[in-house]
Structure 1
Amino acid sequence: MRDKLTTIGFDADDTLWHNERFFQLTQAYFAELLADHADHDHLMERLLAAEKRNIQHYGYGIKGFTLSMIETAIEVTEDRVPARVIRQLVEAGQEMLAHPIELLPHAREAIEAVAETHKVLLITKGDLIDQERKLAQSGLGELFDGVEIVSEKTAATYAEIFDQYGDGPDASMMIGNSMRSDVVAPIEAGCWGVHVPHGLVWEVEQAEVPTSNPRFRELKDLGDLSALIDQIS
């Protein structure tokens, strides 16, 4: 007998509101600024390597991304990057931090519908201040029974959160756009993992799709979530 589904977790960035497209736009601007020093593909490889290397130092989010751009600019110019380029990169990061939130289709309706019958959580990772800002601007904060902003999303993280707020991983579901963080890790913890593709995915968040796992599901958008939960419950 499977445990009754009682607790639903939602990812935030690119699940409830747009996020990755602002990183993509800023990366394109970064490539323009450094075009005289490195070709596009090489520059993107160096930037990605810096981002991966710096996660352990700065965590996820815009601040770490901005510092990784600056570090890459210094590297590819062999310490000759003009001060004005550093200033432009800092300003680009500040602009990202100030960008207004735009909800994805069906985000509010999906949470409101699920909240009538289940406990709902927001489980996101990244910079604490920025994630709190985005949640406040989204207008969705009052809909959640709990909010967890974590440094990393692992199976252990999900097990702890769903034990704390709900009836454990077996009675819980996680919904998000990242295959690695929002689907594979929850399934490894014993949860249902529901993938809602966004289109733009950071390479670090890619993972093999667990198609053979009975607790894996995929939806075209959040508008189909209530029907899936009814089916599982």
Structure 2
Amino acid sequence: MKRYKVKERLKTKIVKERRRRKIVLAVTGILGILAVCGLLFRKVSHTLMTSKFFEVKTTDITGACITEPELIRQYLNFNGKNIFCLELGKSRNLVINRFASIKNANIRRRLPFSISIYIEERVPIAEMNIDVARVGIDQDCVSFSLPDSYEHLPVLPANLSDKNRDLCVSFLNGIYELPIYRNIESVNIRVSGGLEFTLKSGGLVLFGGIENVEYKLSYLEQIIADMGYKKKEIEYIDMKDFCSEYKEAVVMPKSKDRI
């Protein structure tokens, strides 16, 4: 009986020893494989990051209408650099901070040697003329240069205070989707207070406060349509006192159309 128990203990010990050896061999094998993979990874990484085959040859830019694409290319200067060594997140922040007209940017690798940049530009809703240069202003009152080829926008005086500029921009942003926006030549704040704007046809509109804007503009569009139907040009329209209780506006046609 004792011999049987001794044999069982020896057998159990041998089985456990074999299991330990298998575990040690398995762990050693895994570590060896990981070490080889690490060496291969380092070698492959070194090859990828030093190979001339992966040097950037083209930088494609889409979405840039205000910002000159070539200026973006020159600023980032990707060409000739290894595509895997570029810090695209850092480059994105740099280009947004450098060009005020760029609101957002998405930069991607296109292996083996191209970079794609997707630009989201700010949308100007007004402009100023400063030292002959065109300066666009978006709804957040961010200013940036406009190319001469860009469409005409309502013009704000260059000497407007920040407060009055913000009022004009707020007004234009509120009517940006309305037809009247395309008919506005310039916008200003009167010395006595209240907003005024010039129509592209040359007529001056004394608009007053910017409360109930859509209601006032609806009435204004009726006046403009009526004057157009009568084939009369507008000298000015005074509706600064117009409100829901006082629905009146003074309309003065140009002298040649006065009776």
TM-score by length of 2: 0.21
Flag the structure with higher helix content. 1
Flag the structure with higher strand content. 2
TM-score by length of 1: 0.23
